[in-house]
Structure 1
Amino acid sequence: MTENAPETDRITTREAAERLGVKPETVYAYVSRGQLSSRRDPTGRGSTFDAKEVDALVRKGRREPSAGSDVTQRIRTGITLIDKDRYYFRGVDATELARSHSYEEIADWLWTGTLHRGMRFTSPPEPLAAARRAVESLPTHSGSSDRLRVAAIAAAVADPLRFDLGRDAVLGSARSLIPVLVDALPTVGEPHRGEGRLAWRLWSRLTATRPDEAFLRALDMALSLLIDHDLAASTLAVRVAASARAHPYAVVSAGLGALDGPLHGAASGLAHRMLADVLERGGAAPVVADHLRAGRRVPGLGHRLYPAQDPRAEALFGALEQLPAARRALEAAREVESTTARHVELHANVDMALAVLSLSSGMPAEAGETVFAVARTAGWIAHALEEYEEQPLRMRPSGHYSGPRPPRPAP
């Protein structure tokens, strides 16, 4: 946009938003991405935009693939890149972040682009009380995933401002929802003296074993490594919900629902039970043989996005190698990997590393699923923030009808 362009070709923020079919704050998001240029209004009442530039962006949007195309090909994200057996959060190596920063620091930086050292998430009293009452009402055999879903719904009902999808409001909801999910879980161990940290509080909900700082740091690293992993199944569910303008609590509920299946998020529990079996039977060979004979995959091995090592497993194994209490579980995991490699070379993935953490710290088999769900909530919020800036209801694919062709007589 040139400075000598006539002012009649300029429009206000509201007019630009109406032409684009978005909220005014999304217009400024386009500016930050370099898709639009802006100029301060001479009256000092906001910004103005080049009408031709706005119309060009409207036309570009119309040339995007139609709603009937593959929606995953239309999702642009600046959160996670997976490339050559490494993965990056906003361009920064995610494993290096996990080694040097806490889960809360990384999550908040992912949302805001600003790193706040010593960031802590705290639970507001009313949503926490509602979540705890709801969790306590569940049957005693309920699993952690059941409790997390119920806690998210109860916390939403206790927040009358949940329908405010402004960026600041969503960030406020995120910073309170994640600690509510953790603090609503029943305590099985003694609270740690460092209870301010989220990982420290989560530990006492997962095991009665008294931790040392190295174990707590390993749990914090696991949370940090699992914050996001591009468009996994639960993340896609989250973006669909956010596209329909569901509030943040409902968005997280959509992600938790996708995690409840056995193929996403629960794999570490299978690896935990397998490693326990290896330790009980004194070797990996009979356990691996039993899995193969039954036609089952050996859990905790291989990842379709990482032909070589899973960087998340490498980082977490590195932390666990410093813990004497994790030695036997680590040896069992390595033996499973080497035994299977006689037939096919598959490396341990992050589910195996989570299983070593849970088994060596006296956690139940489902603990890895809980860690995964709590960790991934931060990534879901990051994706929701991106999706709230897009056209609403854009994820409306058309089904490929395979039924009988009409017209047919009524039954």
Structure 2
Amino acid sequence: MSDPLFYTAREAAAELGISLGTLYAYVSRGLIRSEATAEGGRKRRYHAADVQALKQRRERRRRPAQGLDDALHFGDPVLESAITLIENGRLYYRGHEATELARTHPFEAVAALLWTGRFHTEGIFEAEDETVARLLAPCQELAPRLRRLTPMEQLQALLPLAAAEDLAAHDLNPTAVARTGARLLALATGVLTGQAGQGPIAQQLQQAWLPDRPDAAQLLNAALILCADHELNASAFVARGVASTGATPYATVIAGLAALQGPRHGGDTARCEALLRDAREDVREAIARRVKQGDRLPGFGHPLYPAGDPRAACLLEATRAACPDGPAMEVANALIQAVQAHFGLYPNLDFALATLAQALELPAGRALALFALGRMAGWIGHALEQYQSDRLIRPRARYVGVRPQAG
């Protein structure tokens, strides 16, 4: 059974172990949000996420050691960052709402924003065609041998070859790191398209993957932006840890790729694609088969967005506009309605990426590759912050094993 989105006043008070009067005081102080119920009148309902967050804060004050453990699982912030804010169910990159950026800006400008705080790409994404072509050459020589690998595996195999040749990547001043980030994006695009291209990254992907769909470039651009960063997720934390050692941006990105492909992170897109394929035959059966086996339903729900992932809503809207009549969109809509009706869950970014890939008839693995390419911008942003902080990330573990014998 899924967690509720709202509590009644008595349920919220019971959950916190407080009186109704104290609950109303918390509401007046802005600690818990409330809203009128559909029935009208004076009855109100209370956001379960706020109640649970307050409950956890009170518990951490009583048990501070447990609070440190909880901080590593969608808990209180453990690092300072000026890149991304997730607040009230919305996502912002340096103060700009990500969904709006996805509709109005090119991916390169948003990458520059994450790295420098400005949309200006001058001095960062200037033409380095000869350098990128030189770095991509050894990758292209090996590429025919790697065709059996997924796009993610190809990135992991080939980027280290380019890293060995890119001596400029060892310069860790902010301007140099941003330029290295631009080269990394160009190299990754070259690996995914099989050529050293020119022009906007989304357009290069469209021309290589969907040459007969020039309109798809705008949709791919939106996906890249919505994937660009998501605060201190698992791959971003790994990337910051690597950057804190003074390793190059290449090492940071390669580490991020390793974390992203896990099935509890971006790798969940593959499970979403499988769900969408199964649902073509029978939506209800595709859902039932998974939940009856005790499997987690992929692509739905997100702890940070109890009322729905704004990235998914934006990308699904754009995909519907680009592919309004295709069977993939029809299946996706049916899944969304069924899961919402039975479990009260909303689609997340993994589901939206899988839907986009199937609506555009992209081969398996391209959804995750798109995710990775977009997220590289965020990893470089986190690396930049970590280089500037000049602090090694080295948390301590609380030992819970066998104690040494006395004597």
SS at match of 2:100: helix
Are residue 165 (structure 1) and residue 135 (structure 2) matched?
Answer: no
Q: How much has 1:392 moved relative to structure 2?
A: 2.6
Map of 1:83 onto structure 2: 87
Distance 1:299 1:120, change over 3 A: farther
Larger Rg: 1
SS at match of 2:342: coil
Q: Check conservation: 1:102, 1:220, Cα contact below 8 A.
A: yes
Q: Check conservation: 1:238, 1:384, Cα contact below 8 A.
A: yes
Q: Structure 1: any 5+ residue segments left out of the alignment? A: 1-68
Work out the CA distance in 1 between the residues paired with 2:307 and 2:135: 43
Q: Check conservation: 2:94, 2:113, Cα contact below 8 A.
A: no
Map of 1:355 onto structure 2: 354
Residue range with higher mean Cα deviation, 298-307 or 372-381: 298-307
Q: Check conservation: 2:224, 2:374, Cα contact below 8 A.
A: yes
Q: Check conservation: 2:323, 2:329, Cα contact below 8 A.
A: no
Q: How much has 1:131 moved relative to structure 2?
A: 2.7
Map of 1:131 onto structure 2: 139
Q: Check conservation: 1:227, 1:378, Cα contact below 8 A.
A: yes
The count of aligned residue pairs is 332
Cα deviation code 1:150-204 (max 9, x no counterpart):
222111101122221111221121111111011023549xx9xx95221122235
Q: Check conservation: 1:134, 1:154, Cα contact below 8 A.
A: no
Distance 1:227 1:242, change over 3 A: same
Work out the CA distance in 2 between the residues paired with 1:226 and 1:300: 15
AA partner of residue 261 (structure 1)? G
SS at match of 1:313: helix
Q: How much has 1:137 moved relative to structure 2?
A: 4.0
Q: How much has 1:104 moved relative to structure 2?
A: 0.8
Map of 1:55 onto structure 2: none
Aligned with residue 185 of structure 2, among 170, 178, 187: 178
AA partner of residue 153 (structure 1)? P
Q: Check conservation: 1:309, 1:348, Cα contact below 8 A.
A: yes
Identity %: 35
Work out the CA distance in 2 between the residues paired with 1:258 and 1:220: 23
Work out the CA distance in 1 between the residues paired with 2:249 and 2:139: 16
Cα deviation code 1:195-219 (max 9, x no counterpart):
52211222355x4x43423322111
Map of 1:228 onto structure 2: 229
Aligned with residue 403 of structure 1, among 384, 398, 401: 401
Map of 1:307 onto structure 2: 306
Q: Check conservation: 1:170, 1:248, Cα contact below 8 A.
A: yes
Q: How much has 1:291 moved relative to structure 2?
A: 1.1
Are residue 155 (structure 1) and residue 158 (structure 2) matched?
Answer: no
Work out the CA distance in 1 between the residues paired with 2:316 and 2:267: 19
Q: Structure 2: any 5+ residue segments left out of the alignment? A: 1-67
AA partner of residue 224 (structure 1)? I
Work out the CA distance in 2 between the residues paired with 1:326 and 1:83: 34
AA partner of residue 404 (structure 1)? V
Q: Check conservation: 2:151, 2:192, Cα contact below 8 A.
A: yes
Measured on the aligned residues, the alpha-carbon RMSD in Å equals 2.5
TM-score, normalised relative to structure 1: 0.75
Q: How much has 1:408 moved relative to structure 2?
A: 8.0
Distance 1:185 1:317, change over 3 A: closer
TM-score, normalised relative to structure 2: 0.76
Are residue 104 (structure 1) and residue 108 (structure 2) matched?
Answer: yes
Q: Check conservation: 1:121, 1:178, Cα contact below 8 A.
A: no
Distance 1:173 1:117, change over 3 A: closer
Work out the CA distance in 2 between the residues paired with 1:156 and 1:117: 23
Q: Check conservation: 1:135, 1:185, Cα contact below 8 A.
A: no
